[in-house]
A and B are shown apart, each in its own frame.
Chain A
Amino acid sequence: MTIDEVVGELTDGMTIGIGGWGPRRKPMALVRAILRSDLKDLTIVSWGGADVGLLARAGKIRRLVFAFVSLDSVPLEPNFQKARQEGTIPEVVELDEGMFQTGLRAAAQRLPFLPMRAGLGSDVLVNQPWIRTITSPYAGPDDQHEELVAVPALHLDVALVHLNRADQHGNATYLGPDPYFDDLFCMAADRAYLSVEQVVDTAGLTVDTPVQRLLLSRMMVSGVVETPNGAHFTTCTPDYERDERFQRAYAAAASGSDEEWAAFSTRFLQGDEAAYQAAVRAFGEES
């Protein structure tokens, strides 16, 4: 598939899960393509980084499900901050990080909820009173029937994830130290689209890589698109690390004036992915 064909599968109002973690191995080329599209009113489900920031700044998000939004080396995401402080995301669902995983697990297992301790006593439950608790039918220690959080399934219409290598069928490996939760995102979704640094033939997936790195099977993936440097400016270890200099420029523009953001946006986000990558190369060549 092409990037535009993937985005062509998306429609207004969809619930879209974005893989990776914070500023790590995000499917940024696909996120940029959503920015260029007319898509609107999206529900975004993400352990957030600049994916959330960019989509929020562009006014694409009607509902955000998140546990944090961070750029790691820049702790707070300025576009996300701005959107929250100006109240431009109409509906926000803030979860504990582990609840987020449990919600994806429930969806992946086609269950309405899964029980969990996380959230009890915190304002996650106070601010989202629709998240309910459930009492165990079994007596625990001291004959108590524990009352736990019934973490609702985070069912996704579509998952977007980025890995290092895949074959054309959707079998895919991560080569860095952490798979994050991209398999769960795919299983929680009706359809999952995978971008990769490189499409290889099937034998190439395991020729010098342990089979345990095969995170996704073709059953979990609806389409594959090759997007070299497609996670930029997030990490895609070991193919490349985070582009810290570019991220600083992004964060500075995002927290600057509207004019500064417009200049960044014009330089990097107006054209297609090839134009973006060319602009990034030019930026990299500046001292």
Chain B
Amino acid sequence: MSDVTRADVCAAAIADAFQDDGEIFASPMGMLPMLGVRLAKLTSNPDLVISDGESLFLAGVPPLFARADVVEGWIPFRNVFDVVAHGKRHVMMGATQVDRHGNQNISAIGDWKQPKRQLLGSRGAPGNTVNNRTSYWVSRHSPRVFVERVDIVSGVGPRLAKEAGPAAARFNDIHRVVSNLAVFDVEGAGDTLRLLSVHPGVTVDEVRAATGFELDVPADVPTTRAPTTEELILIREVLDPKGLRFKEVPDVD
């Protein structure tokens, strides 16, 4: 199938991040993560447990932002915290900043005492990252997002988790960082961000230039796989027929 867009590639890359998770609660934050998780559930990992983002576990796989589907369970916020502590969860959060050591910031930019720009607050990032598998999604890869050191550590990367002791490191599992340019993990030297693949049409040098720290780049960097025909049909005709994904990742040539 022709005309594969960057957003389609991102959706498939996000789906791949959830393919080996088995029967756990997949918690996507944001549009592309929601698309990717639902794509994974329809392809590589039908056992994923998904919710409506509010309080219901959904038995089916509805299109983005569609209501009304078969409900298979109840997941009010109080129970989410129980699942987090229990560990059967993989959350993909957004990130205003991600640093070389896989720490994430969604709290504020600047000095915490009087920030230059107040954001959400740390939300559940501290608990997520020391309890269950956590990935990040960055829709606009730039040196302002990928910084040497985040201003405020909301999500805890592997190095800080190890420094905080066994209770913090035991379940710390930063799995993937997916951006509009590339896919990373945190298995680089000294627990740093490592480039796993660059999206079709993106060069390693472009990723380096858009990253505000020195990336661990293996000698041979593969290209992120293109979505299969089945995946493209699912994305375009089932999950996101309105093309909402292009609001987050505009089409590029």
List A residues at the B interface (Cβ < 8 Å).
21, 48, 66-70, 75-76, 80-81, 84-87, 92, 94-99, 101, 116-124, 126-127, 141-142, 144, 146-148, 177-181
Would B164 and A121 count as touching, CB distance under 8 A?
A: yes
Q: Which residues of B contact A118 (CB under 8 A)?
A: 84, 124, 126-127, 130-131
The one of B116, B119, B122, B164 in contact with A76, judged by C-beta atoms closer than 8 angstroms, is B119
Q: Which B residues between 60 and 103 are near A, CB-CB below 8 angstroms?
A: 74, 76-78, 81, 84-85
Tell me the complex Cα distance, A123–B112, Å. Answer: 9
Closest residue of B by beta carbon distance from A184 = B78
Would B130 and A117 count as touching, CB distance under 8 A?
A: yes
Closest residue of A by beta carbon distance from B79 = A178
Q: Which residues of B contact A146 (CB under 8 A)?
A: 165-167, 170
The one of A68, A116, A147 in contact with B122, judged by C-beta atoms closer than 8 angstroms, is A68
Would A76 and B120 count as touching, CB distance under 8 A?
A: yes
A122-B126, A181-B77 given; A148·B121 CB < 8 A: no
List B residues at the A interface (Cβ < 8 Å).
54-56, 74, 76-78, 81, 84-85, 107-108, 112-127, 129-131, 152-156, 160-161, 163-168, 170-172
12 sampled A-B residue pairs with Cβ under 8 A: A75-B120, A84-B115, A98-B84, A98-B127, A118-B130, A118-B131, A121-B160, A122-B153, A141-B170, A146-B167, A148-B167, A177-B54
Tell me the complex Cα distance, A148–B121, Å. Answer: 22
A109 to chain B, nearest CB (A): 15
Q: Which residues of A contact B119 (CB under 8 A)?
A: 76
A124 to chain B, nearest CB (A): 5
The one of B56, B107, B126 in contact with A177, judged by C-beta atoms closer than 8 angstroms, is B56
A16 to chain B, nearest CB (A): 19
B70 to chain A, nearest CB (A): 15
A35 to chain B, nearest CB (A): 21
The one of A75, A147, A178 in contact with B54, judged by C-beta atoms closer than 8 angstroms, is A178
Tell me the complex Cα distance, A115–B154, Å. Answer: 19
Q: Which residues of B contact A80 (CB under 8 A)?
A: 118
- In the A-B complex, the 9 residue pairs with the smallest Cβ-Cβ separation, listed nearest first, are A118-B127, A120-B168, A121-B164, A122-B126, A84-B118, A121-B156, A68-B121, A146-B167, A96-B126
Tell me the complex Cα distance, A68–B127, Å. Answer: 13
Would A177 and B76 count as touching, CB distance under 8 A?
A: yes
Would B117 and A85 count as touching, CB distance under 8 A?
A: yes
Q: Which residues of A contact B56 (CB under 8 A)?
A: 177
Tell me the complex Cα distance, A87–B108, Å. Answer: 13
Q: Which residues of B contact A76 (CB under 8 A)?
A: 118-120
Q: Which residues of B contact A147 (CB under 8 A)?
A: 165-167
Closest residue of A by beta carbon distance from B159 = A121
Tell me the complex Cα distance, A119–B120, Å. Answer: 16
Q: Which residues of B contact A116 (CB under 8 A)?
A: 85, 127
Tell me the complex Cα distance, A21–B77, Å. Answer: 9
Tell me the complex Cα distance, A81–B114, Å. Answer: 10
The one of B85, B121, B164 in contact with A94, judged by C-beta atoms closer than 8 angstroms, is B121
Q: Which residues of A contact B81 (CB under 8 A)?
A: 97-98, 101
Closest residue of B by beta carbon distance from A89 = B114
